Amino acid sequence: MLEQKVGIISGAASGIGEAAARLFVSHGARVLLCDISGDGAEAVASAIRAEGGTAHALKADVAREEDCRLMVAEAVRHFGRLDWAFNNAGAGAGTALLHEIPNDRWHDCMAINVTGVFWAMKYQIERFLAQGGGGSIVNTASAQGLIGRSNGAAYVASKHAVVGLSKAAALDYAREGIRVNALCPGLTMSAMAKRFVERLDDPDMPLQRTPVRSWADPREIAEGALWLCSPLSSRVTGVALPVDGGMTAG
């Protein structure tokens, strides 16, 4: 499906990013794995190489513009080009009513979830254009980028922004053959989700928001990213794709 196609995955050391790395490589892709945990990214890349796949790791903080530029430069240095990118790195912002959100928590959330996606797309699209056009970008938003949630204004706002950035970029570059889409996961049992659930009095409470009444495995979300990056979705751009067990349907 992605035989010899070169891509970048951020937030690749665990959760959806790690699952995507393993899945994309299993479909023939060559991948640069980026994460603020350089050791974590290298551990995943090493495991992939041990299984015969092609992967390199890079420590990168998407809240730093230079790191977003470096991700593209390193992919090109290792593999010679760039065909797709899965901008998956993100951060939670805790729970609080809007007027109680600390300013630093707001700014940190926006820096990682919004500005980081903007910078990543900026340098990825520049590379696609330099190659003559074409390419696919998938940005991880959230089901909460399509609906609201009480006590989550910072995170909800950041993920709505990711959806908006993706739609605007899709319109800007459609004629150059560059597709941009947002992936909107629902409840997914990632490390971030596990930490959240451990703080709850009732661990099953989040399932009340999901018609299927179960958590997604990260690989199930990665399957959506694979489709959006692949030629199978060649006519799909500007879409915010829910992979959420029906959370946003009602």
Flag whether pLDDT at 210 surpasses 90.
no
Could you list the active site residues?
155
Mean predicted confidence (pLDDT) in 65-85:
98
Fold of the 6-243 domain:
Rossmann fold (3.40.50)
Euclidean distance between CA atoms 90 and 92, whole angstroms: 7
Flag whether pLDDT at 50 surpasses 90.
yes
Tell me the pLDDT tens digit for each residue of 140-192. Answer: 999 999 999 999 999 999 999 999 999 999 999 999 999 999 999 998 987 77
Element at 110 (helix H, strand E): helix 103-110
Write down the pLDDT at residue 206.
78
Flag whether pLDDT at 1 surpasses 90.
no
Q: Select from 162, 155, 211 the least CA-distant residue to 187.
A: 211
Contact 49, 30 (CB under 8 A): no
Strand spans (E) along 131-204: 135-140, 178-185
Q: Select from 41, 77, 81 the least CA-distant residue to 59.
A: 41
- In the block, which residue shows the tokens 């700014």? 107
For the record, the structure tokens of 119 come out as: 């910078």
Please indicate whether residue 202 or residue 183 has the higher confidence score (pLDDT): 183
Q: Structural domain boundaries of the chain? A: 6-243
Q: Computed over its alpha carbons, how large is the radius of gyration of the chain?
A: 17
